[in-house]
Structure 1
Amino acid sequence: MDRIWTKSFILMTLAMLMLFMGFYLLLPTLPLFIKEMGGSESQVGVAAGAFTITAVLLRPFVGGLLDRYGRRPFMISGLLIFILSMYLYDWVSSMAGLFALRILHGASWALATTAVSTLVTDLIPESRRGEGMGWFGMAMTLAMAAGPMLGVWVLENGSFHAIFWAGAGLSAAAFLIVFPVRVPFKPKEGSRKIEIFDKSVLPVSLSVFFLAVAYGGITTFLPLFSESIRINPGTFFLVYAIALTLARPIAGKLSDRIGQGYVVVPALIITISALIILSLSNGLLPVVIAAALYGIGFGSAQPALQVLNLRLVPADKRGVANAAFMTAFDLGIGLGSIVLGWVSQLTGYSMLFGVCAVSVAVSALVFMIMHSNLQRRKGQLG
């Protein structure tokens, strides 16, 4: 039987955990740092946007470079620049300097995460890719749950100086972990143009985009919604993280055995149900139920979609496919947060989560049309 838990896979998963922990340290603390520098709320938004926009714009080019020149150079350079960026926050003294640093940091994020994720897909046997990506995704889930809490704890017991050094230390650990990993992918010899997109992954990218719109709505507005109905937002995210952690490897294994279509569609239906329940919630119990369903639905759909995305391209285009997947996800979160902010201001949280449910329904529709076409053309995707 093809092995998932090789030494290289374990090291890459640990490295991703360290890298994402460093990233999530800044999520709750950077806005406070900007305020301490005298920045406004709008400048907090600009700082966040500079990072995300840079990553979104660079990812497609990074994907093409990974396929043309190999994974290792861009993984190593991305991690080194990420470490440098975390260290330089401690030296920033102006908003202009901070915005420039956020652009550099976003570029390093695009390089490092796209390269690491693509290298991992090279390490996982194709017959168990869904299961492998499910386990690998656990690193990001754990970082998402623990990183912000660690950041707040470090700040409360230390300083911003400690935050930035902790982030640099975690990303340095990621660098040291991945450095000895052997890279199985070898780029084709001879000159070949750098491709930044493959049209075969467009339908999956669209489906991921609409799924990510709802994810952006949850991460951005759930804390505010929780306060409005007087419950602790941490309860939602704790239940969500537990359900996500349990769902990922199980759904990944199922997608390998019975096909991605039989996992993604039910998962998206569960996600829609969670958002409808959330839109009708006015107390703790329905919010907890919604959190559990959302964790199961989203945690099952995301790795299965990523695996299908990789199956649509040859091995020498996995970088392009991964870049398209991650770009669609980032764009969905960013644009979704903006649009849903307007919805929230005009109509309230109930309608906001209703719009999120509609967005996931569009994701499901796009996926079903695409999957039906694939079955007719190839007759091999379950």
Structure 2
Amino acid sequence: MSSSSVPMSTKAAMGPLVVIVFLGFLAVGTPLAALAIHLHDAMGFSPALVGAVIGAQSLMTVVTRHAAGTVCDRYGPRRSALIGLPLAALSGLVMLPATILLPADSLLVVPLLLLARAMLGAAESFFLTGSMTWGIGRMGPARTGKVMAWQGIAMYAALGTGAPLGLWLLQDGGFDTVLLLSILAPLLATGIALGLRGFPGSGGLRLPFHRVVGLVWMPGTVLALSGLSFVAMTTFLALHYQARGWAGAGLGMIGFVAAYILVRLFLAHLPDRQGGMRVGIASLALQFLGQLLLWWAPGPLPALLGAVVTGLGFSLVFPAMGVEATRCVPAAQRGQAVGNFIAFFDLALGLGGPLLGLAATLGGSAAPFLVGAVSTLAALLLLRRLPPVA
């Protein structure tokens, strides 16, 4: 249910929420690479322990998505966002003694680090699920795809700028400056959220976890299978260029990101107007072609083309499948649908790195893109089995 009887314009409805998501995800993206370097170089952590600390966030994000959706449906999405954003700031405060104040060999350091990362994972669940559901309420359910497209731009823009910004802050001012930004950004987002009007949750009976997952598993699985290509691009593209002795890995990433953003800027309305299935099929077909090009590419120019085509295809998969997921559940359970749907992408991010890393070890640097192509083809076949709109 919208906060007003007439859906708001895109600028009025989404502008503040896009800023909220961007600031919230700065708290996620800014310490990501900087924390790994600080733990390894300054504190002497092993790579395995660094991985465990970093991974605690993703695990908690998956675990808490359903709870965040329940809060949205029962108490309203504004409540969910106002739980997640201060919690993100608090996670930075908890990390402060673990990384700055206590000696590295203190028995409290690892538990505090794991607690801080788990808090950040839960915070992401609550503020992103809340912001997505809030946007649908402000824009109207008929523009669900557009909401998810714009929130996705904010999310990836924050992650894309946050990581290099965090590394620059680490080098220029130390890890305490990284934490300072990670604390202040979600606090500023909290202030913006407090100034926005919310709308009440539906209350009433809740669908159990297994029932909601049972309703959204098909579009969610399509998203997860498609998401393996995103992991291949963000994690293994530069390594592939390096292994082949090619220059221009940065240009390949720029091509992928630029294509992704341009499609969302100009074609975000398509899932709402044309339907999630139709847009999803076209998007996955492009993504499949892009991954095949990257796997086959004999030189950097075909690889660049593959990166661009992958970005064109991947861009609208999330909003297209979001449209399909939200139509699978009653309106009163929309928050749970959004939360559990996003959890499928979280799983792809969490499992994709080790899976594609194994593929690269066994099959060479191009193997992750072959896995991306095969998983995209599987997503395309599964998508064609989605039930039609009633």
Say whether the fold is shared (TM-score over 0.5). yes
Tell me which amino acid in the other structure corresponds to 1:28.
Answer: A
Asked whether 1:81 is paired with 2:97, we answer: no
Q: What's the CA shift for 1:293?
A: 0.8
Structure 1 counterpart of 2:208, from 195, 198, 204: 195
Asked whether 1:352 is paired with 2:357, we answer: no
Partner residue in 2 for 1:312: 328
Partner residue in 1 for 2:229: 214
- The 5 Å alignment of 1:56-135 reads 56-92=62-98, 93=102, 94-135=109-150
Tell me which amino acid in the other structure corresponds to 1:80.
Answer: P
Tell me which amino acid in the other structure corresponds to 1:103.
Answer: A
Asked whether 1:374 is paired with 2:388, we answer: yes
Q: What's the CA shift for 1:104?
A: 2.0
**Structure 1 regions of 5+ residues with no counterpart?**
none
Asked whether 1:248 is paired with 2:254, we answer: no
Tell me which amino acid in the other structure corresponds to 2:328.
Answer: L
DSSP 3-state at the match of 1:374: coil
- CA RMSD, 1 decimal: 1.9
Structure 2 counterpart of 1:24, from 7, 21, 29: 29
- Whether the 8 Å contact between 2:132 and 2:148 is mirrored in structure 1 is no
**Structure 2 regions of 5+ residues with no counterpart?**
1-5, 103-108
**Deviates most, 158-167 or 94-103:** 94-103
Tell me which amino acid in the other structure corresponds to 1:202.
Answer: W
Distance 1:329 1:185 in 2: 28
Distance 1:87 1:283 in 2: 47
Q: What's the CA shift for 1:65?
A: 2.9
Partner residue in 2 for 1:34: 39
**Deviates most, 93-102 or 303-312:** 93-102
Question: Could you give the per-residue CA deviations for residues 146-193 of structure 1, whole angstroms, max 9, x where no partner exists?
Answer: 2222112222221101111011111111111111111134323x5x34
Change (3 A) 1:105 1:129: closer
Structure 1 counterpart of 2:50, from 37, 44, 50: 44
DSSP 3-state at the match of 1:119: helix
Q: What's the CA shift for 1:308?
A: 2.0
Q: What's the CA shift for 1:303?
A: 1.3
What is the identity percentage for the equivalent residue pairs of Structure 1 and Structure 2?
A: 26
Question: Could you give the per-residue CA deviations for residues 295-354 of structure 1, whole angstroms, max 9, x where no partner exists?
Answer: 110102221111221122222111111111111001012112212211111111222211
Partner residue in 1 for 2:105: none
Question: Could you give the per-residue CA deviations for residues 51-97 of structure 1, whole angstroms, max 9, x where no partner exists?
Answer: 11111111122212321232233221211111011233221132332
- The 5 Å alignment of 1:114-193 reads 114-188=129-203, 192-193=205-206
DSSP 3-state at the match of 1:313: coil
Q: What's the CA shift for 1:6?
A: 5.0
**How many positions carry a matched residue from both structures?**
372
What is the TM-score when the length of structure 1 is the normalising length? Answer: 0.91
DSSP 3-state at the match of 1:231: coil
Structure 1 counterpart of 2:378, from 334, 343, 362: 362
Q: What's the CA shift for 1:232?
A: 4.2
Tell me which amino acid in the other structure corresponds to 1:290.
Answer: G
Change (3 A) 1:65 1:127: closer
Q: What's the CA shift for 1:357?
A: 0.5
Distance 1:4 1:287 in 2: 39
- The 5 Å alignment of 1:225-374 reads 225-229=240-244, 230-370=246-386, 373-374=387-388
Q: What's the CA shift for 1:194?
A: 5.9
Change (3 A) 1:185 1:234: farther
DSSP 3-state at the match of 1:52: helix
DSSP 3-state at the match of 2:96: helix
What is the TM-score when the length of structure 2 is the normalising length? Answer: 0.90
Asked whether 1:9 is paired with 2:25, we answer: no
Q: What's the CA shift for 1:219?
A: 2.0
Change (3 A) 1:99 1:136: closer
DSSP 3-state at the match of 2:315: helix
Structure 2 counterpart of 1:224, from 228, 233, 239: 239
Tell me which amino acid in the other structure corresponds to 1:27.
Answer: L
**Deviates most, 314-323 or 71-80:** 71-80
Distance 1:309 1:91 in 2: 41
